Amino acid sequence: MNRHPLLRKSYLLQFSRQSLLTLLDPSRKTGMDFFFRLIGDRALLEEYIRIYSKQMERLERLAREKSFDTIFVVIPAKYQIDQAQFEAKTAYYGMDGTRIDPHMPTRALVEIYEQFGVPVIDASSCLQKSGSVATLYYVQDSHFTSSGHRAFARCLIDEDILERIDLTDKAENVVRLISPRTVLVSPQPSRAR
């Protein structure tokens, strides 16, 4: 571990150091993206499905006790919607990308949500059709860029995803999309159920 505070906080320096170490010794690829560990190891995926199902049971129990409903939004990893990045990363990790289904984790999550009767929004196909998918995520991680956030908001609006899920029957708060940049959560009066 680096002892100097500046060295510990410099992302660029740490990234460069890791890249150099990996270049010198390819067996050091210990920083494998979790997504690829998950899709490359069926036993690991099954273990996470088991753990996640248990957490959903706990959430369902808590929701009954506290009288709230849930809705989940599944945001795909960039490798699920950008085939070129998927192929490059599987090659980097020495994996056979033709034998791996990048959508397996999302399907597993959706199945769990459906099993528990929880509404889910999966914007994968909409994001895939949104134009240049390479600009939706940052290069070094799977977080949305501002373009990605705009594309995701457009998916919610254009695909009428929120209209297909009646949030007013699911929660005391209603999510209202004012524009692609503004989301307003406003309290609604309780309804008789």
pLDDT at 89 over 80: yes
85 by DSSP, 3-state: which? helix
Average pLDDT, whole number, for the chain? 75
Please report the pLDDT score of residue 51 as a whole number: 92
pLDDT at 106 over 50: yes
How many CB atoms are closer than 10 A to CB 152?
Answer: 20
| Bridge partners, residue 183, by sequence | 177
Q: Is the pTM of this model over 0.75?
A: no
Q: How far apart are CA 122 and CA 75, in angstroms?
A: 7
Asked if residue 76 lies in contact with residue 127, where contact means CB atoms within 8 angstroms, the answer is yes
